[in-house]
Structure 1
Amino acid sequence: MPGQDVYIRSAGSALPGPAVDNAALARRFGMDALWEQWVEVFIGTRSRHLALDLESGKLTDTLADLAEQAGRSALDAAGLNPEDIDAVVLGTATPDQLMPATVNVVADRLGIDSVRSFQLQSGCSGAVQALDVARQILLSGHGKRVLVLGGDVIARFYDLTTDLRKAAPAELVNYVLFGDAAGAAVLSTEPGPGSAVVRSLFTRLVGRGRTPGAVLEWFGPADRNSDRPAATEDYKAIEEHVPVMAEEVLHELLEDTGWRAEDIDLVLPPQLSGRMTALIAKRLGLPDARNVSCVDDAGNCGNAIVFLQLEQALAGLAGGERAVGVSIESSKWIKAGFALEGTL
């Protein structure tokens, strides 16, 4: 619908269990103090939450468990009931099962029925892709309120028998980089208290001819005994490309909105690791903007991370203030960004 505004009414999140710091990881995997120091200096993430009991190796939470909690939180914050929702969209790289789709399991648990539902499989920018799909649903006139979910449970891919002292760097980094979480937001054509209007939002695949920067395997009966690692990360490639891509996203958002860098009050930078996020935030060149970051304590929790940031941002975004968010997906390289303005 031409001229129709779309608002983010609320956001919510769910983190499993207590925080797991680097010392706890070091003890569990028999690593020494130098390894712990390496994590602090070169990765910069202090802790993360895991949907896994490190001692028993048993999963404590599924993605559906966490997404249900986050969804309820977002609905409550928006003052809405399940029957008020016209569509549900989920972005994840780690669905609980191939079928049924996790989005439909969560909708069922929340009491949402007879609506459109979509599940997008992608890395971190899947959260923004899900927001994009929700926005298009609303702009096309097919509803007034969409519940958007995002999250990942990456700990299920951990091999707790692995000797990390012998692991390749591309495999080792996953044990310290990631955390588990889910998040949610309510998008609507109707503003509400503490909402923000979406001034710009885009996602764009830019992976043509590029080698994947991250790989997450899915093993079936025919290849379950494969010696391929379940997850690998080309951290060097990510260090090289993500800061450049993040800067490109910011420039495109500014051009699309007509805003100047000095107009930005909040910035939501990519949440790769504590160290990388700090470097990217500095590179974006928005010294007067407040930085909304949670990766230091929550780890890189994939498709949940944008929602964790949105939850913080909405709480601190005053009427008329402006925020920009940047998300980069490194598995096959997707640029994504959004611009928000607080409602009066």
Structure 2
Amino acid sequence: MTLRSVIIGTGSFLPKRRVSNAELAERVDTTDEWIVERTGIRFRHIAGDDETTSTLATAAARSAIESAGIEATSIDLIVLATATPDQTFPASATRVQTALGINDCVAFDVAAVCSGFLYAVQVADSMIRAGAHKRALVIGAETFSRILDWEDRATCVLFGDGAGAIVLEGQESAEQGGRGILATRLHADGRYNDLLYVDGGPSSTGTVGKLRMKGREVFRHAVVNLAAVMSESLAAAGLSSDEVDWVVPHQANARILDATARKLGLAPGKVVVTVDQHANTSAASVPLALDTAVRDGRIKQGDLIVLEAMGGGFTWGAAVVRF
């Protein structure tokens, strides 16, 4: 028997305010056609004054818990991936914990930007397989609108706010390819810091700072790194791309999704795409897309899925999961 972390519930949440490209064009020098042609993005959601990363995360968590059909108090681990926490400290995960009415469980944040959810998944999976925890809530949540430079049309049109979550449960399985997380692979290379970063922080400037990106260079690295880590994770699971039912990628740019799929020889129809409706929600984008595809019936129990993402740092990773 093998102990695996099985996804038993998914959830997501988006702020009420939905912003179209046309509305953005009234604020910055851009057009709907320019944005769609270069990114595939048509809409994004922007958090209101009464919404924070932890409130979005809590709503997504509640949705995942309901989907799993469990009591929140049965969760003994919360890992929240975010680059936009409510406060410098304590961790936003503890605010989610309190909002869910869980009086005592391990709760902490993980910071790996757009790859944060994959990092959080591996952390939670490792802790479950080690026997330290039985049921984990893994969340990706962001309010990137708070760190955007709204005068920079090259970046402000790309991002949105949102949250996604999964519930992982440790289950024994006798099947080699049974349900659960089959393999994960993570990477980081800090030499590329200046290609995608925020120009502030408590220790450096004492300010929150704004997002800065060199899009063309990021695109080139993303296609190469994502295709490589997906192949690496499939090999670790003893599987091939032909066996994959669905790829659930980080929703950064439609052109990156297309190029990565071609590099792996995957049919475009196997790639879950939500970037047109949600834009890039950083750590939230993978669980948001996953929940969307589960709820609309595309992803079913028993499907083999690959989750992948790359973000500032650079950080990147992939997970092979039998849903």
Pairwise same-fold verdict (TM > 0.5): yes
Work out the percentage of aligned pairs sharing the same amino acid: 29
CA contact 1:92–1:121 (8 Å) conserved in 2: yes
- State yes or no: 1:102 paired with 2:92: yes
One-letter amino acid of the counterpart of residue 125, structure 1: S
- State yes or no: 1:203 paired with 2:195: no
One-letter amino acid of the counterpart of residue 243, structure 2: D
- State yes or no: 1:123 paired with 2:113: yes
Do the aligned partners of residues 318 and 68 (structure 1) sit closer, same or farther apart at CA in structure 2, a change above 3 Å counting? closer
Give 2:299's aligned residue. 317
CA contact 1:265–1:289 (8 Å) conserved in 2: no
Cα distance in 1, alignment partners of residues 261 and 146 from structure 2: 30
User: How far apart are residue 148 of structure 1 and its match?
Assistant: 0.9
User: How far apart are residue 229 of structure 1 and its match?
Assistant: 6.3
Give 1:20's aligned residue. 19
CA contact 1:64–1:106 (8 Å) conserved in 2: yes
User: How far apart are residue 150 of structure 1 and its match?
Assistant: 1.1
User: How far apart are residue 102 of structure 1 and its match?
Assistant: 0.8
Cα distance in 1, alignment partners of residues 267 and 201 from structure 2: 45
Give 2:6's aligned residue. 7
- State yes or no: 1:85 paired with 2:81: no
Give 2:66's aligned residue. 76
- State yes or no: 1:326 paired with 2:308: yes
User: How far apart are residue 281 of structure 1 and its match?
Assistant: 2.5
Cα distance in 2, alignment partners of residues 242 and 139 from structure 1: 30
SS at match of 1:332: coil
Give structure 1 stretches of 5+ with no counterpart: 53-58, 165-170
Cα distance in 1, alignment partners of residues 179 and 289 from structure 2: 14
Q: Deviations over 1:132-185 (max 9, x none)?
A: 11111111111210111111101112455xxx4xxxxxx432210000001111
Map 1:41-52 → 2, pairs under 5 A: 41-52=37-48
Match of 1:260 among 240, 256, 259: 240
Give structure 2 stretches of 5+ with no counterpart: 173-177
Do the aligned partners of residues 122 and 173 (structure 1) sit closer, same or farther apart at CA in structure 2, a change above 3 Å counting? same
SS at match of 1:280: helix
Q: TM-score, normalised on structure 1?
A: 0.85
User: How far apart are residue 223 of structure 1 and its match?
Assistant: 4.5
Cα distance in 2, alignment partners of residues 229 and 73 from structure 1: 32
Cα distance in 2, alignment partners of residues 182 and 16 from structure 1: 9
Cα distance in 2, alignment partners of residues 115 and 308 from structure 1: 24
SS at match of 1:49: strand
Give 2:34's aligned residue. 38
User: How far apart are residue 40 of structure 1 and its match?
Assistant: 1.8
Cα distance in 2, alignment partners of residues 36 and 303 from structure 1: 25
Match of 1:214 among 192, 196, 199: 196
Do the aligned partners of residues 106 and 288 (structure 1) sit closer, same or farther apart at CA in structure 2, a change above 3 Å counting? closer
Match of 2:166 among 157, 161, 185: 185
Cα distance in 2, alignment partners of residues 319 and 72 from structure 1: 21
Do the aligned partners of residues 50 and 335 (structure 1) sit closer, same or farther apart at CA in structure 2, a change above 3 Å counting? same
User: How far apart are residue 130 of structure 1 and its match?
Assistant: 0.7
One-letter amino acid of the counterpart of residue 36, structure 1: D
One-letter amino acid of the counterpart of residue 91, structure 1: A
- State yes or no: 1:305 paired with 2:295: no
Q: TM-score, normalised on structure 2?
A: 0.90
